[in-house]
Amino acid sequence: MVQACVEQGPIRPPSEAYSLLLRVTRNCPWNQCEFCHTYRGQQFSLRTVEEVKKDIDSFREIVSEIRSLSWAQGLGGQIAAPLANLILEQPHRFPEGFRSVVLWLYSGGKNVFLQDANNLVHKTENLVEILDYLKQNFPSIERITTYARAKTVSQKTVQELCALHDAGLSRIHIGLESGDDSLLAYIRKGVTAREHVEAGQKVKASGISLSEYVVLGLGGKARWREHALETAKVLNQINPDFIRIRTLKVLKTMDLYEKIQKGEFVILSDDETVIEERRMVENLKGITSQFVSDHILNLLEEVEGKFPDDQERMLAVIDRYLALSSEERATFRLGRRAGLFRSLEDLTNPELRMRVDAMMTQINTEPPGNLDRVLSQWMESFI
C-alpha cells in the first residue's frame, strides 16, 4: 500500500467539497486580514514544482490501488458506494490520502482544487508545468480551480493568465470582501478597489472563470451603506461569473475581535445584515453574474440566482423576510442556525416548525438575550 504522505492545506471553497486537493503553496503570503484567522501563526512558503509533482505521483498510485481493490471486491474497477464506505469506515487501515481520493473518484474524479491561499505568487511557468503534469497524469480532469489575491492577479499580465487558462486552470476564487477603500484599509486587506477591478477584468479577459467573494456585515454599523454600495460598484465593473456570499462571524482568534471589544467596530444584527444585502443586490446593474449563497453562515440561503433575470425574485425573498413579524424572524433565524430551515417556506412546514418552536420555548426559559447568545455560539461552530 502507498505510504507516501500527501500534503493537504486547511481549507477549500464549499463548491470544491469533492475536488481533489493539491497543495501548491503553504498558508497565506499576506496573512493580515483582520476578519481571518485561518493561517495565523503559520509561515508562508512556496512548494517546489518537484514537491507538487511528487504528490501528483502519489495520487496516481493511490488511484491505482483503489482500482485494484475495486476489482478484488468484485466491482470491476468501478468506484461504487460499497468500496467508498469500506475505505472511509476503516481509517486505521487506509491512510488519509486514500479517504480523500476515494471521495474524489466516487464523485466523478473530474475536479481539482489547488491549495492554499494565493497560488499565483508562483511564477507563471511553474504553475503551467504543474498544470501540464496534472493533466498528463489525470486526463479525465475537467476543472482546476485555485484561490488567489487580487493584488497578485493585478500584477500578472493577461497573457500570463491566458497561458494558465490554456494549461487547464478553469477558475480563480478571489476574496473581494468589499469594494469600499476605507473599509479595505480598515480590515487590512492590502488591496484597493481599483486593484480588485483590474484583477477581475484581467481574469475575465483570459477566459478563466471568476468567483468573487463578498462578506456581508463587514461594514459594521458605521459603514454598512458604503460597504453595500461600493461593493456593488466594483462588481458591476468586473461582472464576475460568480458572486459568492459569506456572512461575517468574528471569533476571539481574529484581530477584528479586539476592535469589537474596544467599541471601535459594532457588528450588525441578522436583520441589519439582510438590509445591507438588499442594498447591495438592488445596486448590482449591467451584470450577468450568478449570485450564490453557498455557506451555512448566510441567513437567507435562497437569495440566489442569475443576473439580471432573477434580481427581482431575490429582492422579493429579502422583502418577504423583512416583512415578517419580529417573532417570526426570530423563529426563522433559530431554524436556520439549527440547520432545520433552508427557505422561508420552511416556516410553514408543520414538522419542522414544531421542532423549532420547541427549541424556542426552551431557549426562552433562560434570561433575555439568550437567543442571540445561542445563535452566536452555533455560528462559531460553523467556522
Q: Which residue has the higher pLDDT, 162 or 89?
A: 162
Q: What is the 3-state secondary structure (H, E, C) of 251-286?
A: CCCCHHHHHHHCCCCCCCCHHHHHHHHHHHHHCCCC
Distance CA 378, CA 368 (A): 18
Judged by average pLDDT, the poorest of 89-93, 303-307, 354-358 is 89-93
Judged by average pLDDT, the poorest of 88-97, 203-212, 346-355 is 88-97
CATH topology of domain 14-325: pyruvate-formate lyase- activating enzyme (3.80.30)
Q: What is the pLDDT of residues 258-267, one digit of tens each?
A: 999 999 999 9
Domain boundaries, the chain: 14-325, 326-383
For residue 113, what are the β-bridge partners?
A: 21, 145
Sorted by sequence, the CB contacts under 8 Å of residue 27 that are 6+ apart come out as 9, 39, 42, 43, 44, 45, 116, 117
Q: Which 8-state DSSP code applies to residue 38?
A: T
How much is the pLDDT for 4? 56
**Residue 1, burial from CB neighbour count under 10 angstroms (0-12, 13-18, 19+):** exposed
Q: What is the pLDDT of residues 124-168, one digit of tens each?
A: 999 999 999 999 999 999 999 999 999 999 999 999 999 999 999
Give this prediction's pTM.
0.93
Half-sphere exposure of 327 (CA within 13 A, CB side): 4
Q: 302, 342 in Cβ contact below 8 A?
A: yes
